[in-house]
A and B are shown apart, each in its own frame.
Chain A
Amino acid sequence: MIESTLDTSCRIGPVTFKNPLIMASGTFGFGKEYGNLYDLSKLGGISGKGITLHPRPGNPGIRVYETPSGMLNSVGLENPGIVSFLADECAFWEKLDTVRIVNLGGGTVQDYVEGAAMIDEDSRIREREGRKAVDMIELNISCPNVKAGGMAYGIKTCVAREVVREVRDATRLPLMVKLSPNAEDIADMAQMCEEEEAEAVSLINTLSGMKIDVRRRRSVFENLYAGLSGPAVKPIALRMVHQVCKRVHIPVVGMGGISSSEDIIEFIMAGARAVQVGTYNFVNWHAGAELAEGVERFMVAEGIRSLDEIRGIL
C-alpha cells in the first residue's frame, strides 16, 4: 500500500475485494505456482483453472500458438474434476487472504448443475467448520475450445438462460457469469444474467480464432479453432465492457488483454467494477503484484482516493 488513505476496494454482491485485480481463469492454475513468486494476498482475487464435474484430459496436439500481440490457446478445459479440486486445491485455498473464485465449466446443463451443487455443499460444510475456501462461482458458459457444451451456451441468450437459471437455483454462493465475445449479442446476454439474478458478469472470454500451417496444409490445432487472447483483443474487450455496463446494473468484471495499470484504469473508466488479468501472467510472472501497485501509483498521481471517482465516467 503506497498511501493508507487510498481506497482500492470494490464489492460484488456480498464479497469485498481489497483491490480490483483478479487473476483470470486458465492462466493462473489454482495460484500455487505464482504464490511461489509473490504474495497472493496482494491480489483482489483469483479465479481458478476452469473445472468440470468430471475430469477432462483436454485437447490433443498443439495447444498454444503465438500471434502478433496475442496468443491462441486450445487447452480444452483439461482439469482434475470437482472432487479432486475440492479435496486437493481447497486445502490451499482456505489459507489464502484473497477472494477465491471457482471457475465452473460443463458439458450438459446437468453437469453444470451437479457441479454447482457439489461446490455449494462443500462450501457450506467448510463455512460451518471455519475453513471457507470458496467465495464465489464464475460460471463459464463460453469456453471456445470444448466441442460439446462450452461455447454452445455462450452464443445464444435463450440457451444460456437455462444454464444460468438452473445453476442459480443450485447454489447460494455469489454467481458471476463469464461471457463470450462470440455471443450473438453480449449486452443481451448480460441482461439475461441480471434477470436470472447472477451477482455479476465477467467478460470477455477469448475470441474464436484460427491458424493454418501452410506447409502441412492443415489447422495448427486439432480442434480446428482456438481462443485468442492478449493485447490484440483489448480494444474489442473494452468496447464490449462499455456496452454491457451501459445495459446492466449488476457489477461487470472486465478483461481482455490487460497488460498495464493504465489498461486497468481504462476498464474501470468504461464502467468495470473489477478486472481480470490473464495472458499477461505469462509475459510478466509478477504481473499481479506489480499491477496492484501500479493502480495505486496511478491513483496517487491523479489525486484519486477511490476508484468510484472514475468508474463508468464514459
Chain B
Amino acid sequence: MATIISNRRVAEGIYVMHAEGQFGAKMGQFFMVRGWDGYPLLSRPLSVYDQNEYGVKFLYKTAGEGTRMLSRMTAGDDVTLLGPLGNGFPRAQGRTALVGGGIGIAPLYYTARHLEQADLYLGFSEKVYEEHEFEALGHKLEIDLGGRVLDRVDFDAYDTIFVCGPEPMLRAVQIKSAMSSGRADVYVSLENRMACGIGACLVCSVGCESGRKKACTDGPVFRAEEVVLA
C-alpha cells in the first residue's frame, strides 16, 4: 500500500498522481497500480513519470474504468503498487533524443532528468500538457501539435533515440529508422495490455525477430528493429 500525496488533473482526462514510498525505480520502468479491491479485476500498468524523496509520480490518461477510478482518488487514499517492473531504458550513448507521443511522454520526464544531454520531442494530437515541467528540465524541447512530431526528428543526428507513443507512431519510427543511415540506436517503449505484470501470464507477449517476448519483463523497452508490430 502507498498513500497518495496528490492526484491532480493537468488537462482534460490527464492526471498526475504522486504516491508515497521509496522504490528506486530506473528510467523507463513501470508499476502495476490498483486503487480498489476486486473490481476492476486487473491492475493498470503505469510508467514512472518522476521519482523524488517523497515518492513516485505517474502521468496517466483516463481510458477505461480503472484509470477513471484512479483519477477520482485524492490525497490520503491508498493505492496498491507492485514494482518497479520491467527493464527500463538502457544507458544512453552519445547524442540522445527522447520522443514521446501523447501519454507516451510519461516515461520520458524521469529519463530526461537523468541524462546530461537529451533533446526532447513531444507530440500531441489535440492538446499540450506538462510542457512547463519538461521545459524546466533545461533540455532542448520541441513540441508538436497535430501528430507529426516524428517529422521534426532527424534520426541521423543522434546516437540514441528513445520513443514511447501509440502503435502507429512506433511503426513510423521503424520505417524512419530503417531509412536512416543507421547511426542511432533506436529503442521503443511498448504500452501493451497486461494482466500479471511479472512475466507469468503471457498476455502482453510481443512478437520479436528472435521469437515471442514479454512486454512486462523482457520489455517494455525493445530495440525498434527487433519488434514485429501488428
A and B associate in one complex: yes
Total A-B contacts with CB atoms under 8 angstroms apart: 85
Q: Are A34 and B42 in contact (CB under 8 A)?
A: no
Which residues of chain B from 6 to 21 have any CB-CB distance to chain A below 8 Å in the complex?
Answer: none
Interface of B is mostly: loop
Binds A, one of B70-78, B135-143, B202-210: B202-210
**Shortest Cβ gap from A282 to chain B (Å):** 4
A283 contacts the other chain (Cβ, under 8 Å)? yes
Give chain B residues whose Cβ lies under 8 Å from the Cβ of A78.
202, 205, 212
Counting chain A residues whose Cβ lies within 8 A of the other chain, the interface size class is: 20 to 34
For A282, what are the chain B residues with a Cβ–Cβ distance below 8 Å?
Answer: 41-43, 195-196, 201
B178 CB–A CB distance under 8 Å? no
Complexed CA–CA distance, A283 and B204 (Å): 16
CB-defined contacts of A63 to chain B, threshold 8 Å: 193, 202-205
B214 to chain A, nearest CB (A): 10
Contact flag A75-B203 (CB < 8 Å), given A57-B211, A64-B193, A259-B38: yes
Query: Would A29 and B200 be within 8 Å (CB), given that A63-B205, A78-B205, A78-B212 are in contact?
Result: yes
B202 contacts across to A, CB distance below 8 A: 26, 49, 58, 63, 75, 78
Which of A65-73, A104-112, A128-136, A290-298 lies on the face that meets chain B?
Answer: A65-73
Q: For chain A residues 40-69, which have a beta carbon within 8 Å of chain B? A: 49, 57-58, 60-66, 68-69
User: Which residue from B41, B200, B217, B230 sits with its C-beta under 8 Å from A61?
Assistant: B230
- For B, the interface residue count at a CB cutoff of 8 angstroms equals 25
- With A60-B230, A64-B195 as contacts: A281 and B205 at CB distance below 8 Å: no
Fill in one digit per residue for A64-100: 1 if any B CB lies within 8 Å of its CB, else 0.
1110111101010010000000000000000000000
Residues of A within 8 A of B40 (CB): 66
Residues of the A chain whose Cβ atoms lie less than 8 Å from the Cβ of B194: 64
A75 and B205 form a contact (CB under 8 A) = yes
Bound Cα distance from A62 to B194, whole angstroms: 10
- A contact residues around B201 at 8 Å (CB): 26-27, 29, 64, 73, 75, 282
Is A230's CB under 8 angstroms from B203's CB? no
Q: Are B212 and A57 in contact (CB under 8 A)?
A: yes
Asked if residues A58 and B205 are in contact (CB atoms below 8 Å), the reply is yes
Least Cβ–Cβ distance between B50 and chain A, in angstroms = 25
List chain B residues, Cβ under 8 A from A37: 198
> Which chain A positions have C-beta within 8 A of B166?
none
Expressed in whole angstroms, the minimum distance between the Cβ of B27 and any Cβ of chain A is: 22
Which residue of A26, A33, A71, A230 is within 8 Å of B198 (Cβ)?
A33
B-contact bits for A106-120, CB 8 A (1 contact / 0 none): 000000000000000
User: Within the complex, which residue of B41, B43, B64, B211 is in contact with A279, where a contact is CB–CB below 8 Å?
Assistant: B41
Do B203 and A33 have beta carbons less than 8 Å apart?
no
Of residues 268 to 314 in A, which have CB atoms within 8 Å of B's CB atoms? 279, 281-283, 285
- Residue A231 lies at the interface, judged by CB distance under 8 Å to chain B: yes
* Closest partner residue, chain A, to B32 (CB atom): A285
Q: Mark A17-30, 1 if CB is under 8 A from B, else 0.
A: 00000000011110
Q: Is the CB of B82 within 8 A of A285?
A: yes
| Distance between B63 CB and nearest chain A CB, rounded to angstroms | 12
Give every chain B residue within 8 A of A57 (Cβ-Cβ): 207, 211-212
Interchain CB contact under 8 A, A70 and B41? yes
Q: Give the residues in chain B near A27, CB-CB below 8 Å.
A: 196, 200-201
**With A26-B201, A75-B205 given, can you name 6 additional A-B contacts, CB distance below 8 Å?**
A27-B200, A29-B200, A33-B217, A37-B198, A66-B40, A71-B42
Could you show 9 A-B contacts with beta carbons less than 8 Å apart?
A57-B211, A63-B193, A63-B202, A64-B203, A64-B204, A73-B195, A75-B202, A281-B196, A282-B201
Residues of A within 8 A of B (CB): 26-29, 33-34, 36-37, 49, 57-58, 60-66, 68-71, 73, 75, 78, 230-231, 259, 279, 281-283, 285
Interface residues of B (CB under 8 A from A): 38-43, 64, 82, 193-196, 198-205, 207, 211-212, 217, 230
Name the 10 nearest CB pairs between A and B, nearest first: A29-B200, A64-B203, A63-B203, A33-B198, A33-B200, A282-B195, A33-B199, A282-B196, A75-B202, A64-B193
